[in-house]
Chain A
Amino acid sequence: MANVSTSEFKSGLKFMLDGDPCSIIENELVKPGKGQAFNRVKYRNLKTGRVNERTFKSGDSVESADVMEVELEYSYTDGEFWYFMDPVSFEQHAADATAIAGCKKWLKEQYSYTVTQWNESPLTVSAPNFVNLTVTDTDPGLKGDTSGGGGKPATLETGAVVRVPLFINIGELLRVDTRSGEYVERAKEK
């Protein structure tokens, strides 16, 4: 893998740090008037998702990380791995439990997910901002209540539990915001 010098640092650059692939969020030059220069780098560890800071001497090199983001369709799970398919090449990619931890409750067949791949294997999988899912379990709907005030828990087909208005019934299709985990509206199509 190629090396990158601090002079090429910019936000979005992927590099290896202590064995983990990382992505630069912010890079600032620290240079007192006539003193040595340093690069103060804020980065995200792509494995753990944690944000941290590292200071390099300007001119130092780091190993670049072979990281890219691709859109893949979720196919199925065998309990150990979750399989995603490239819609063009039909190639299958197996993601482990860690990689799908953040979006497990939003995984639905044929939906498209953003998969961050490191050395061509899935590192993290993130859900689209909105998904449409069917209610599999909730208390019976209250007729006449269309205000959405109050609310009740509803279990969706992926296992996710969201708070929904009282008028929602089993079998209905809902649009859900995966970032907040909140109900948005009734959806018409899958």
Chain B
Amino acid sequence: MIPSWQPSADITLLKRRAQYLADVRLFFAQRDTWEVETPILSQAAPTAPYLDSFSCDYQAIGSEQKSRYYLQTSPEFTMKRLLAAGSGSIYQIARVFRNGEQGRLHSPEFTMLEWYRPKLTLIQLMNEVEMLVEQVFNFQGMAKFSYRSLFQSYLDINVFTCSDEQLKICGLKQIPSLADDFDTDRDSWLELLMSYVIEPKLAQLNTLVFVYDFPASQAQLAKIVDDGDGYQVADRFELYIEGIELANGYNELLDADELRQRFDQGNQQRRQQGKTEIPIDENLLAAMSSGLPICSGVAIGLDRLIMLAMKKNSIAEVQSFSFE
């Protein structure tokens, strides 16, 4: 292979990127939200079945013994421990790592902007995200749709009551690139329909789009609540710009027992798929038992946001050096 030492982004773009980072920091400074740094390495990691952490070994000098460490997929767990310790509103611009994810909009390592606001409701946090994206990155306009309403209007399907079979029929009909005998689980069908059918429609709206009230099966670390129509939904949102998924926000789950169950469930799914189980974060669970304040939190893929703001087509074009 021929070595290529040049950056994957133009120097002028990288300078613009530095200005965005400075503006983000200014935005939070004006909102009494302070910047934190947390460890990248941890002995625990998320157990979510489709989220793969990098791992490495720690070996004390002179010791034969190796301890397994994981690189963070987001700074969520340690930031929550700060919140439980009384930090108040905090943010972080963190380097995060996700094994295997490489593409135009993916990189095994990327930059995440994550923040937590103990006093804000999820709706207030959505508004704050909108303000950040408008003031710093100059995107205008905002629309909010529930997950259910999007599937209802674009696919004429009720995501909470339709059967797995109905969902499969809808998926095969709407996505011609799937083989006739293709099949997958319920959440993957929903995600495929979102990616292939709904996201392109959202792109046509030419505005920021917040999607909220996700199916409870996609709760991740958000609270599950009643949506007012009797459906159990995950109290979280995602932000889309130009049909690209940019941010993921939660009304944060506070119940340590419930979180332990979700961790266990993740490991159970990993086992079924023949993947190795991941040690669950006892420190986080202990912090939550001691008391996490009621709070909302959100993570934004900064490379994607900067890519869109600079009208580029791939995140590599706004990273100093893309994954090599």
Interface residues of A (CB under 8 A from B): 7, 28-38, 40-41, 52-55, 57-58
Majority secondary structure of chain A interface residues (helix, strand, loop or mixed): strand
- Docked complex Cα distance between A30 and B101 (Å): 10
Say yes or no for B12: interface residue by CB 8 A criterion.
no
Say yes or no for B194: interface residue by CB 8 A criterion.
yes
Q: Which of B100, B176, B196 contacts A37 (CB 8 A)?
A: B100
A57: nearest chain-B partner, CB-CB: B184
Q: Which of B103, B175, B196 contacts A29 (CB 8 A)?
A: B103
Residues A53 and B220 in contact, CB atoms below 8 Å apart:
no
A and B contact pairs by CB, cutoff 8 A, 14 listed = A7-B100, A28-B103, A29-B103, A31-B103, A32-B191, A32-B195, A32-B245, A35-B187, A35-B218, A36-B184, A36-B185, A36-B191, A40-B177, A55-B177
Residues A33 and B176 in contact, CB atoms below 8 Å apart:
no
Q: Which residues on B sit within 8 Å (CB–CB) of A7?
A: 100
- Docked complex Cα distance between A29 and B264 (Å): 28
**Min distance, Cβ A120 to any Cβ of chain B, angstroms:** 28
- Docked complex Cα distance between A7 and B101 (Å): 10
**Min distance, Cβ B274 to any Cβ of chain A, angstroms:** 11
**Min distance, Cβ A50 to any Cβ of chain B, angstroms:** 13
**Min distance, Cβ B227 to any Cβ of chain A, angstroms:** 21
Interface residues of B (CB under 8 A from A): 48, 50-51, 100-106, 175-179, 182, 184-185, 187-188, 191-192, 194-196, 218, 220, 238, 245, 248
Q: Which of B104, B175, B185 contacts A55 (CB 8 A)?
A: B175
Residues A31 and B101 in contact, CB atoms below 8 Å apart:
yes
- Docked complex Cα distance between A53 and B179 (Å): 10
Given contacts A28-B103, A29-B102, A35-B191, contact A53 B245 (CB under 8 A): no
**Min distance, Cβ A10 to any Cβ of chain B, angstroms:** 11
Residues B220 and A34 in contact, CB atoms below 8 Å apart:
yes
Residues A29 and B101 in contact, CB atoms below 8 Å apart:
yes
A42: nearest chain-B partner, CB-CB: B177
